[in-house]
Amino acid sequence: MDMKNLDLRPNCLITPSELIFVPGPRSLFFYKNPFGLLPEFLYEHGYRTQVLSLPFRNHTLRMYALKNWLNTHTEHTYHFIVDQITYQEFEPLLNQAQILTLTILTDDQEVDAKSSENQKSFIFKVPRSRSTKPLYYKLHELFNLAYHTKTSSFDTTFSTFNRTNYDRFLDHCVKLAENELYA
């Protein structure tokens, strides 16, 4: 998978605010590009994107790093993107933060879009793929299981290129831009 496989769509409405991707816990088996090429794909469409650099595993250090980032970036508004496991990890902090929107990635088709109590939250459902998970991700899950840590589903990491999911997420970002523009 590389940027040559990604087709750009013309005339996308762009958010004035930056899209911030918050990665979940990682390990030596799964540490690079926690959201695949999705941030680059959105950047190529004109969005400002950033993947936060958080500690790999330690919950206390991860909370401290995110809290510190939020405290030092109060001059602008942001759209945050997290997976369901990361949202559960940072829920109290994210609900108190002055963020524009929060998008929660999930592959749980039972989750209702209205399940979030926060009005600025959106649930983005990623369909489960039929392909098998790569060995490195299975090892990552096993590593997390040994440390009693929940693991995000492989599909919500956007690690494999799926043109449909990338286009759906681009549509979601256009809706975020519309909401921001007309708010």
Summarize pLDDT for 65-114 with one digit per residue, the tens: 999 999 999 888 899 999 888 898 999 999 888 889 999 988 776 555 54
Q: Which pLDDT score is estimated for 42?
A: 92
For the segment 137-159, the average pLDDT, to the nearest whole number, is 75
**Burial of 180 by CB count in 10 Å (0-12 exposed, 13-18 middle, 19+ buried)?**
middle
H helices present in the chain, as ranges: 38-44, 59-72, 84-96, 135-146, 163-181
Q: Which fold has domain 13-181?
A: Rossmann fold (3.40.50)
Q: Sheet holding 49-51: strands in order across?
A: 49-51, 18-21, 78-83, 101-106, 121-125
What is the token pair recorded at 101?
């929107």
Structural domain boundaries in the chain: 13-181
Q: Which tens digits make up the pLDDT trace of 160-180? A: 667 788 888 999 999 999 988
d(CA 81, CA 104) in angstroms, rounded, equals 6
Is the torsion defined by CA of 24, 29, 31, 37 positive or negative?
A: negative
